[in-house]
């Protein structure tokens, strides 16, 4: 898959920071982004999360690492995000 080395990331592409939940697949990670939102009726803050499938070309991230991800063109059916950098290594 040599075409994956040509992934271009725009400077103004959306970026998010999340925690790697799974690194069992080669060049793929599952990243969880946790946030809290206010309930529209009751006003209580509810914890929510978004789970994204992310492309990691060099396999630099592992379970528990905090990573920065950037949106890019679709790489597969479920992957349209790329690991930009590892913000904090676990352990």
CATH number, domain containing residue 77: 2.40.50.140
Q: What is the pLDDT of residues 27-78, one digit of tens each?
A: 999 999 999 999 999 999 999 999 999 999 999 999 999 999 999 999 999 9
Note whether residue 53 is domain-resident: yes
Residues 9-33: tens digit of each pLDDT: 888 999 999 999 999 999 999 999 9
Q: What is the pLDDT of residue 3?
A: 59
pLDDT at position 22 is: 96
> Distance between CA atoms of 79 and 35, rounded to whole angstroms?
21
Distance in angstroms (rounded) separating the CA atoms of residues 36 and 58: 32
Token pair belonging to 52: 């994204």
Q: Which domain holds residue 75?
A: 21-88
The C-alpha atoms of residue 71 and residue 53 are separated, in whole angstroms, by 11
Q: Hunting for tokens 């597969």 — which residue is that?
A: 76
| Strand 66-71 versus strand 79-88 pairing type | antiparallel
């Amino acid at each position: 898959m040599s075409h994956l080395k040509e992934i271009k990331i725009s400077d103004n592409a959306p970026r998010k920071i999340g925690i790697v939940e799974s690194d069992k697949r080669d060049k793929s990670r599952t990243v969880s982004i946790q946030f809290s939102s206010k309930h529209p009726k009751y006003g209580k803050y509810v914890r929510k999360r978004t789970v994204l499938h992310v492309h990691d070309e060099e396999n630099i991230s592992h379970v528990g690492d905090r990573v920065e991800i950037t949106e890019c063109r679709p790489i597969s059916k479920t992957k349209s995000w790329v690991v930009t950098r590892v913000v904090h290594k676990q352990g």
